[in-house]
């Protein structure tokens, strides 16, 4: 099993396109997580602001 795993991983070492693709996928995943996090925080702040305005009216 270990030899099979090493042979499988060795293909990625030879083909640099796969490594680059994995790097770009990881970068895109981190950016997507940060965008979702920012939108959730923005939504909380907007809700708080609207609730404050509504209570003062």
Residues 6+ apart with CB under 8 A from 13: 19
Residue 47: pLDDT above 80?
yes
CA distances from residue 29 to 15, 19, 33 in whole angstroms, order as listed? 22, 15, 6
Higher pLDDT, 15 or 3: 3
Name the pTM for this structure: 0.57
Whole-number pLDDT of residue 9: 72
Whole-number pLDDT of residue 16: 67
Whole-number pLDDT of residue 49: 92
């Amino acid at each position: 099993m270990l030899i099979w795993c090493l042979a499988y991983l060795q293909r990625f070492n030879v083909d640099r396109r796969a490594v680059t693709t994995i790097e770009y996928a990881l970068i895109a995943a981190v950016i997507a997580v940060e965008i979702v996090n920012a939108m959730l925080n923005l939504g909380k702040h907007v809700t708080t602001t609207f609730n404050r305005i509504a209570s003062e009216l």
